[in-house]
Amino acid sequence: MQTPAVWVICPAFNEAATIANVVADLRRRRYDVVVVDDGSVDGTRHIAAKIATAVITHPVNLGQGAALKTGIDYALSHDAEILVTFDADGQHRADDIPRLVRALTEQRADFALGSRRIGHSCNIPFVRRVFLFAATLFTVATTGLCLTDTHNGLRAFTRQGAVALSLRQNRMAHASEILADIANSGLRYLEVPVTVDYTPYSLAKGQRASDFVMILLDLFARKLHR
């Protein structure tokens, strides 16, 4: 079987410090990379434009969920067969992607979700660990999916899987929304162990525990309003 066309989607907001390494790493492994610059003001798009397959620039900052959706739309319109979401802050490893892709092609899943709980995390702080555990409990309770890590930015979808995602949550609640859509689609999903590197940089850019309140509000609003 010919290798499927893999497109890696990198949502980036003010990631000038890391984007070059992240994208170059992915390009070395011969993936098509679409960087979605979510209205950065630090020149992320110019750095990315030198090495990425495509750079899409949001005219205003819309949030990570919106950036993912834009990237997915773009990759689908360029005949991507497998779509990978990959954080631009350098916390993921490009080496993990082949395992996700294999989960889709060999085990015939439509969603392969990275998990740091069955994989490894380096330097994960205690507060972050508690927060992630609470988020996992919440998601398992609301979607019924059997997962060990619900807020991992490294995921892979088939075309069919990507089309099933609605991604209407622009901000951070999209992680829970993706899982809700996976549950509703009834398609096959798998968890794949991946490594997440916690650096001071990725921690500063990442979510704070207080964002959890806003995420709950967003999800509640979505239930009220369709």
Partner 1 sequence: MIAQAIFSLLLSSVLIYAWAEYRRSPVVALMSLVASLVGLYFVWIPSHTTRVAEFIGIGRGADLIMYLWICISLIVLLNLHLKLRSQHEVITALARAIALANADSATEGARLRNTEHETAKPAIPLARDASYKEPISMVRTPRPPPYSARRSYRSK
What are the phi and psi torsion angles at 81 (to 5°)? -100, -30
Q: Does 200 bind partner 1 (CB under 8 A)?
A: no
122: phi then psi, degrees, rounded to nearest 5? -105, 130
| Angle, CA 131 vertex, CA 65 and CA 202 arms, to 5° | 60
Alpha-carbon gap, residue 183 to 29, rounded angstroms? 31
Strands 155-158 and 111-122: antiparallel
Q: Is 219 in the site for partner 1 (CB under 8 A)?
A: no
Number of DSSP helices (H) and strands (E) in the chain, helices first: 9, 7
Distance of alpha carbon 52 from alpha carbon 40, whole angstroms: 16
CA dist list (Å): 153 to 83, 175, 221: 13, 8, 23
Query: Of 13-21, 71-79, 137-145, 202-210, which part binds partner 1 (CB under 8 A)?
Result: 71-79
Residue 76 as a binder of partner 1 (CB under 8 A): the answer is yes
Q: Which of residues 101-120 bind partner 1 (CB under 8 A)?
A: 104-105, 108-110
CB of 28 to partner 1, least distance (A): 8
Of the pair 27, 99, the CB lying nearest partner 1 is at 27
Closer Cβ to partner 1, 6 or 154, answer by number: 6
153 token code pair:
């930015």
Per CB under 8 A, the segment of 27-35, 130-138, 147-155, 174-182 that binds partner 1 is: 27-35
If binding is defined by CB under 8 A, does position 163 make contact with partner 1? yes
Angle at 16 between CA 89 and CA 26, to 5 degrees: 55
- Does 59 interact with partner 1 (rule: CB under 8 A)? yes
Q: Toward partner 1, which CB reaches closer, 117 or 181?
A: 181
**Smaller CB separation from partner 1, 154 or 164:** 164
Q: Does 197 bind partner 1 (CB under 8 A)?
A: no
Write the CA distances from 208 to 89, 128, 172, 179, integer angstroms. 15, 8, 11, 20
User: Which residue of 10, 19, 52, 132 would you call a contact of partner 1, by CB under 8 A?
Assistant: 52
Residues near partner 1 (CB under 8 A) are 1-2, 4-5, 24, 27-28, 30, 32, 36, 49-60, 62, 66, 69-70, 73-74, 76-81, 104-105, 108-110, 158-160, 163, 168, 170, 187-188, 221, 224-225
